[in-house]
Every structure is written in C-alpha cells, then in structure tokens.
Amino acid sequence: MLVQPLPNSTPPSGGPLYNLYSFCEEVSYGVEPAACKFSSGKEGTKSALIYVNGVRQSCMDIECVHSQTSKNTKRHTYSIANLTNGLVKDFFRCVKLWLGGQSPASVKLKETLENLPEDIEDIKIVCHSEGCLITRQALHHLSNDVFMKLYPKLHILSFGAPFFFDKRYAEKIENHVSIFDPISIVLNPSLIFRYIWASANLLKNKLEGIRKPFKIGNYCPTYFHAPHSNHPLKEHSIRAATYFTNYMRFVLAET
C-alpha cells in the first residue's frame, strides 16, 4: 500500500484557501511556542502510548496528564506538548493545520514516531481536538518506508474530532464524542443526525439504568458519551470529566 495524500493534508497552492492559509501562517509565524516532549520509559514492554493535546494547554497542564498516564500504564508513554499561545492564535494554528500546514507539535510527533524503539510492537496515539489534526499531519509527512513499518502497529483514539482522518485510517481509529460537545457539529453539521440518534439512545439507556456510550459504526466507530457537565463549552475540553474520565479508563484498561 502506497501512502496517498490526505484531503487538505497539503497546503493549497492558489485561490481563496491559499490566501487564508497565508494569513494563518503569517499570524502564527514566529510566535508559535516550540513543542516539547515528555517521555517515561518502562522496562520489559514493547508497547507505546502517545498523547497529543488540543488547544489552550499549558506545559503544566500537559505534564499533569502525562504524569497521571505514566503512573497508570505499563507502556512507554510520550506526551507531545502542543503549547498554547492564546485562544485566538491557537485557532489560526488549527486552521493552518486543517488546510495542510505543519506546526511545531506535528513536527515533534513525526520525529517521535520516526525514533520509537525498534522492538515496539503496538502504538496507541491518543489525540484530542487539535491534537487530531496534529496527528493527521504528522502521519502524512512520514516517509513511505516509515509509514509502512508503523501502520500495522497503529491504533488511534480520538476525542472530540470524529472527522479529521481520511478513510484509509478507518480500521485504525476509535472516535469518542460527548453529545454536549458543540465543536464537532459546528465544523461538520452533517453529524447532527448522528447526534440526535445517539442522544435518543443514551436517554433510553439512562432510563433503563444502562451507563455506557452509544456506538455508531463498526468500521471507524464513533462512541457518543452522555455528558458529565451541564455547560456545552466545557464538554470539548480534555480537562472536562467526560473526555478525561474515558481517557483514563482507556489507560487503566491497558495495564
């Protein structure tokens, strides 16, 4: 299998989208904080867990998540620090990634994937929001040889972004979305019917005393979760209970 270009994974070469890309690049050029990486090696394991965060995360926030992750898993753990530069500039960085650009974090993730120990047999990438765009761009810029070597080992767990990956990754992706998370609907209104269907079934499950996410699709499945917060804007954050609880549940299940 040859690596094929992903939709929007290469910057536009002309037209209105090129103008938008150039503007986003100009806004973020020279002001994006360099990404860093936290890593915790574990002896005797041949599996790795990589966490890629979304917008508005400080170094302290990311280090806190990394610390909790590394304490609760036997995997080698890596956290790509996608550092915030303020909400507005973070937004333009997301647009640049969406249009096919790179960021310090996508470059750092690419380097991390290229330099994983040779004996690693299983790679889990957990990405949230902008972290899904970062993961998409990092994978796209891998050489064909590296990509072919990593692809059989790959499993992607995405939170809050069930539409950022190309179909060729479908068998490798498990999406998780809160039904109170507005971002996915705003960026992809066609998902509204899935939200309505999932909401109805989650309500039915709640009335029957069943507490589990509602799954739609077997190939590239999306798990819709009942919200833990009454405030929609808080539901998109990885720090909100819905996503972080399920992220840690995944980590603990991997021990």
Tell me the average pLDDT across 194-221: 86
Note the pLDDT of residue 134.
94
- Residues contacting 211, CB < 8 A, separation 6+: 205, 226
Average predicted confidence (pLDDT) for the chain? 84
List of E strands, 102-191:
122-128, 154-159, 173-178
Note the pLDDT of residue 4.
40
Q: What is the DSSP string of 112-124?
A: HHHTS-TT--EEE
Does 131 or 28 have the greater pLDDT score?
131
CA-to-CA distance for 105 and 112, rounded, in angstroms?
10
CA-to-CA distance for 139 and 161, rounded, in angstroms?
16
Tell me the average pLDDT across 182-207: 84
**Could you tell me the pTM of the whole model?**
0.89
Architecture of domain 32-253: 3-Layer(aba) Sandwich (3.40)
- DSSP3 helix / strand / coil % (the chain, rounded to 5): 45, 15, 35
pLDDT digits (tens, 9 = 90+) for 57-109: 888 888 888 888 888 888 899 999 999 888 888 889 999 998 889 999 999 99
